Amino acid sequence: MDSKTLCLGALMLGDASGYEIKKLFEEGPFSYFHQSSFGSIYPALGKLMAEGLVTCDEHAQEGRPDKKVYSLTDKGRAAFRKALSINPQRDRIRSESMYMLFFAHLLDTGHVRKVYDGYLEGFRQNIECLDGLSSDGISPSRQFVRGFGRTFYEAAVKYMEENRHMLLPEDEAPKAKGDKT
Amino acid sequence: MDSKTLCLGALMLGDASGYEIKKLFEEGPFSYFHQSSFGSIYPALGKLMAEGLVTCDEHAQEGRPDKKVYSLTDKGRAAFRKALSINPQRDRIRSESMYMLFFAHLLDTGHVRKVYDGYLEGFRQNIECLDGLSSDGISPSRQFVRGFGRTFYEAAVKYMEENRHMLLPEDEAPKAKGDKT
DNA sequence: AGCCTATATATAGGGTTGATATATATCATT
DNA sequence: AATGATATATATCAACCCTATATATAGGCT
């Protein structure tokens, strides 16, 4: 799914600037299952403009740089639907943490611990973020996707809490004792 | 994590050709959490050779093209450990299926159904694949990662089976009745 | 014959990433 | 005062990766 389609989808949620679109992929609803960077967003928006799929209003702001707010045209909305009517490609995942954990037996224990705990904490934070979101007025689709993400994070936390001993066997005994006192 | 490091890791599992390395990322143990393509593997192997991190033996084969089998040098092993001792970057995920399901309310029901069922079936197949693998002699690290993947796929299947009504409400009633007869 | 599959190596063009630059501000620290 | 951090904004570049393609060797199917 190319960046043009990703931007079209972002604008389906409402008019937005390039920066705001980036935020949707970085911290917003898309961040859990897709990504896109400035280097691809701005050229994509330019192309969408050239193709008549979006329009752009430049707004001056106080205390901030000017802002270009992009809107979908009818043509853009139609193009978006069309782009989403294809067969989806397979999910693509790149996890450096998981790659490192795969080779944990070759790595320094302290480093494995750091990677492990950082990864686990990341999942916990994702759950917190999701739980802090309002579900007022969002579509069932969006609720579905959010719930899917939450399910995954919870399963990850649970698995990692229960199976830490597989990678960090020496952490288990002293920690369990500490908790009991 | 660049393709050089990915190839070094692949060779930690044993000597391999470029094609075999690709297979590790396409269908093998790495396929669940990383990816790498011919377009990056072959140039990476070339660089690793130039840097003295791998060596390469060319083998003639019967009925098949010649095969270049790459091996790690000690220098390559050390470089691999070093590359894995950094802080991992965040996971990167791109899911066209999930992106489409996010916008399911805007799409044709038949298409949503197809995406949904295809996605669900993909998770089921991943579980089958994992279950068909032997766990003889693999490291705890590798078992951990495999178990993590399985946990995720199972959670995904469960969630999708239980929440299909959110995206395909009209599918629920007739199907449930069909099962009861 | 053409197409598909599998095993193999290799590459080109296009797209993406992460870093960077610039701008406008505020705040905190040295 | 200077520096660094943060946030909001637009924009770009070099390096990297992906997809598609080419080629080779073979077998199977239409």
What is the residue-level pLDDT of chain A in tens, covering all 181 positions?
Answer: 899 999 999 999 999 999 999 999 998 999 999 999 999 999 999 999 999 999 999 988 888 889 999 999 999 999 999 999 999 999 999 999 999 999 999 999 999 999 999 999 999 999 999 998 888 888 999 999 999 999 999 999 999 999 999 999 987 655 544 443 3
In sequence order, the 6+-apart residues with CB closer than 8 A to the CB of A42 are: A18
In sequence order, the 6+-apart residues with CB closer than 8 A to the CB of B162 are: none
Q: Where are the beta strands (DSSP E) in A12-137?
A: 54-59, 67-72, 92-94
Q: 3-class DSSP state for residue B58?
A: strand
Q: How far apart are CA B162 and CA A160, in angstroms?
A: 24
Write out chain B residues lying below 8 Å of A170, CB-based: none
Q: How far apart are CA B177 and CA B113, in angstroms?
A: 19
Nearest-by-CA chain A residue for B32:
A93
Q: B173 falls in which pLDDT band (50, 70, 90)?
A: low
User: Is-contact A43 A28, C-beta < 8 A?
Assistant: no
A43 in contact with nucleic chain C (CB within 7 A): yes
Question: Which amino acid type is present at position A11?
Answer: L
Average pLDDT over residues B167-176: 71
B14: left (phi over 0), alpha (psi -120 to 50) or beta: left
What would the pLDDT profile of B133-160 be if each residue is shown by its tens digit? 888 888 999 999 999 999 999 999 999 9
pLDDT score recorded for residue A176: 45
pLDDT score recorded for residue B172: 63
Q: Measuring from the CA of residue B23 to each C1' atom, give the nucleotide at the shortest distance.
A: C7
Strand A54-59 and strand A67-72: pairing?
antiparallel
Alpha helices, DSSP H only, in B37-108?
A: 38-50, 74-83, 96-102
ipTM of the complex: 0.91
In chain B, how long is the greatest CA-to-CA distance? 68
Q: 3-class DSSP state for residue B56?
A: strand
In sequence order, the 6+-apart residues with CB closer than 8 A to the CB of B108 are: A85
* pLDDT score of B66 more than 60: yes
Q: What is the dihedral of CA B86, B90, B91, B92, to 10 degrees?
A: -120
Which candidate in A1, A99, A152 is best for mutational testing of the B interface (most B CBs within 10 A)?
A99
Q: B111 falls in which pLDDT band (50, 70, 90)?
A: very high
Q: Do B81 and A107 touch (CB under 8 A)?
A: yes
| More confident call, B113 vs B176 | B113
Domain regions of chain A by residue span: 3-83, 96-180
Query: Where does B3-83 sit in CATH, by number?
Result: 1.10.10.10
Please list the residues that pair with A55 across neighbouring strands: A71
